[in-house]
Structure 1
């Protein structure tokens, strides 16, 4: 008898042969519009590159700016040094100008005694004699303050034939440009016996001759504070040639205005 050998295991699903895959691995790729994918890939790849280039350019700019800052710092230090030198020169120039101006101011206040005496000789009346002339020190307006007129003043004493002659002498002095007219005044004036000339002797017969009376006066005045550069004509008239020459030399330099 024949026996049937039926293998039912082969009919089970687990024993079914899987179909062979042809053409390698099969990928399920999305289909449709792929533009967003491409954009994302481009951004992911290009953004780091752009950032790298920007960083490189920024570093180069920073180095360039640092170089410019260092150069400007050096230039600033050089200019500070030059400014300091200029300020030093200005200070020295101002000091020299101040000293020069002070010297010129003192020089411009000189009143030569030769010119002063000649001016008095030209103004004294015939009936007036001068015994003494002395210079008085300047008077300060307030304590601790310098005097307004460092030249000081004059005190003239002498004899005159009458009080009118003393007044005439005062009026003549008030017209002098070397003196202040408002500060010229008669301080004292009194009748005294005229002094006996030297060598004159009284008569031996017992008769005493009384000398005539004259006026003994004292006049005080303040020297004018008008600069000597404005008195050139008067100084020339009084024969003060040396001072006039020096003043004109200084005027040519521009230190004293003409």
Structure 2
């Protein structure tokens, strides 16, 4: 007879064992929507690439800026040198202008004696004689301080027929363009015997003739400090042609204002 050998253990769930993965860790991929996974992978790969590109771009800009800075520093040094040269030229120009202006100022204060003497000859009355004309140095208003009028003044001495003649002579001098009217005054005026030539005061019979009396005067006045360039017409009237020509030439060049 035949006997049945049935193994029911194989049909039990506990009997079925999971196969061992001898090849390593089993990978289990997610299923469903993979958008987030792709996005994460893209971010993980793209971010370092963007950082690398940005770093490369910044390094290029830094090199470019360093080159620009070097050029600007070189240009700044060149400009500093040019500015120094310009300042030196300006200083030299200012010094030359100062010297020129000082020379022009002195030249513009010239009072030709020929013009002044001619002016006195034109103004002196017939009853007044001039014996001496003396230039006096400028007098400072305050001791130790420079004078306000560096041209100085004149002292005129002589004889006049009367005191009225001396006063008239003073009034005429006050109208002169070469003298200051406010600083013209009579210093001294006194009656003296008129000077006679030797032998004139004694007659043939030995009688001494007393000479008439006249007024011996001294008038003092300050020279006008008006620039000569403002007295061109008066200088031309007195025949000072050379000085007038030089003043007009400097006016044309702009050294002296018209």
TM > 0.5: yes
2:249 is aligned to 249
Q: Distance in 1 between matches of 2:61 and 2:144?
A: 69
Deviation of 1:142 after TM superposition, in Å, equals 2.5
1:3 is aligned to none
Deviation of 1:74 after TM superposition, in Å, equals 0.9
Deviation of 1:82 after TM superposition, in Å, equals 1.1
Number of aligned residues = 247
Mapping for residues 141-160 of structure 1, pairs under 5 Å:
141-160=141-160
Mapping for residues 155-194 of structure 1, pairs under 5 Å:
155-194=155-194
In the alignment, is residue 98 of structure 1 matched against residue 85 of structure 2?
Answer: no
Q: Distance in 2 between matches of 1:88 and 1:165?
A: 63
Deviation of 1:133 after TM superposition, in Å, equals 0.4
Q: Distance in 1 between matches of 2:27 and 2:129?
A: 146
TM-score, structure 2 length as denominator? Answer: 0.88
Do the aligned partners of 2:152 and 2:222 also contact (CA within 8 Å) in 1?
Answer: yes
Secondary structure (helix, strand or coil) at the match of 1:149 reads coil
Which sits farther off after the overlay, 46-55 or 138-147? 138-147
In the alignment, is residue 221 of structure 1 matched against residue 206 of structure 2?
Answer: no
Deviations 1:152-193 (CA, angstroms, capped at 9, x unpaired): 000000000000110110011001000011111111100011
Deviation of 1:103 after TM superposition, in Å, equals 0.6
RMSD: 2.4
Distance 1:81 1:198, change over 3 A: farther
Do the aligned partners of 2:160 and 2:217 also contact (CA within 8 Å) in 1?
Answer: yes
Deviation of 1:145 after TM superposition, in Å, equals 2.8
Deviation of 1:207 after TM superposition, in Å, equals 2.0
Q: Distance in 1 between matches of 2:201 and 2:178?
A: 42
Q: Distance in 1 between matches of 2:27 and 2:74?
A: 69
Q: Distance in 1 between matches of 2:92 and 2:114?
A: 38
Mapping for residues 29-108 of structure 1, pairs under 5 Å:
29-108=29-108
Which sits farther off after the overlay, 34-43 or 65-74? 34-43
Deviation of 1:36 after TM superposition, in Å, equals 1.8
Which sits farther off after the overlay, 203-212 or 24-33? 24-33
Runs of 4+ with deviation above 6 angstroms:
19-22
Secondary structure (helix, strand or coil) at the match of 1:207 reads coil
Q: Distance in 2 between matches of 1:27 and 1:240?
A: 124
Do the aligned partners of 2:201 and 2:208 also contact (CA within 8 Å) in 1?
Answer: no
Do the aligned partners of 2:201 and 2:211 also contact (CA within 8 Å) in 1?
Answer: no
Which sits farther off after the overlay, 196-205 or 228-237? 196-205
TM-score, structure 1 length as denominator? Answer: 0.88
2:196 is aligned to 196
